[in-house]
Amino acid sequence: MKTTTSQEGPAGVGEETETWELRLYIAGQTPKSVAAFRNLKKLCEEHLPGRYQIEVIDLMQHPQLAAGDQIVAIPTLVRRLPEPLRRIVGDLSNTERTLVGLQLRLAKPLTTTEEGSDAR
């Protein structure tokens, strides 16, 4: 799935026509692996329609591929393009955390109350 159509742009960084290359490392069809793929697919359809490529790598079948992206936990999502490379561990169920991790959304700044809570 590699197209360059653009219907809505990311809130974060990058060109709107840029194709995102994502790798999802899993280990078999575990509930977390299935959830991670489902959550990633939904997120891509909502925020990168027509501009993403997902490669799923099952480490049960290809364990040697873990070393290339330095995978130490599964499921792990690796954003290969656009650079810089980013890794997110987990089932990607926290949409906000995943969007910030992929740099599709900027992290929310601390509010005045949060900033000043340690100063007193």
Query: Rounded to whole angstroms, how far apart are CA atoms 120 and 118?
Result: 6
Angle at 12 between CA 8 and CA 14, to 5 degrees: 75
Instruction: Tell me the backbone φ, ψ of residue 95, rounded to 5 degrees.
Output: -60, -45
32-90 per-position pLDDT tens digit: 999 999 999 999 999 999 999 999 999 999 999 888 888 999 999 999 999 999 999 99
The CA R_g of the chain, rounded to the nearest whole Å, is 16
Q: How long is the chain?
A: 120
74-111 per-position pLDDT tens digit: 999 999 999 999 999 999 999 999 999 998 877 666 66
Task: For residue 3, give Cα distances in angstroms to 25, 48, 110, 112.
Answer: 23, 11, 37, 43
108-119 per-position pLDDT tens digit: 666 655 555 444
pTM over 0.85: no
Taking the domains of the chain in order of start, what are their residue ranges? Answer: 20-99
- CATH superfamily, domain at 20-99: Glutaredoxin (3.40.30.10)
* The predicted structure's pLDDT at residue 82: 92
β-pair partners for 54: 22
